[in-house]
Amino acid sequence: MYTIADRLKTMLMNPLAVVEYFHNTIRAIIEGVLKGGIFGELVHFYGPIEYQGRGTPHIHLAVRISMSHHLDLQLTEISSYGYEEQHRLLRYV
């Protein structure tokens, strides 16, 4: 197992690898999860990248998602429920 000092030394020896890994990870999240429509249609995203004191990048990602399609499907599905199921769902929510 690598110590923190070992990992820091490795990272400082190849900062381009750190940036490429970070870029690929964020791109995979945006393309695969957000644009994939799991949470709804991606309308817009914005994410400033900052570097921590130890030199590793991180992002504060703000995302705007349209839930209209998913909400319509959910409302259609709920309306097909019986009276008991609808009330049980409302109590849960």
The pTM for the full model equals 0.61
pLDDT value of position 82 = 77
pLDDT value of position 62 = 94
pLDDT value of position 72 = 59
Q: What angle do CA 81, 42, 78 make, to 5 degrees?
A: 5
CA pair distance 17, 72, nearest whole angstrom: 44
Report residue 24's pLDDT band, with 50, 70 and 90 as the boundaries: very high
CA pair distance 15, 59, nearest whole angstrom: 17
Q: Is residue 50 within a helix (H) or strand (E), and if so which, with residue range?
A: strand 49-51
Range 24-35 average pLDDT: 91
Of 57, 62, 60, nearest to 20 by C-alpha is 57
Express each pLDDT in 71-88 by its tens digit.
556 666 777 777 787 777
Tell me the domain boundaries of the chain.
4-92
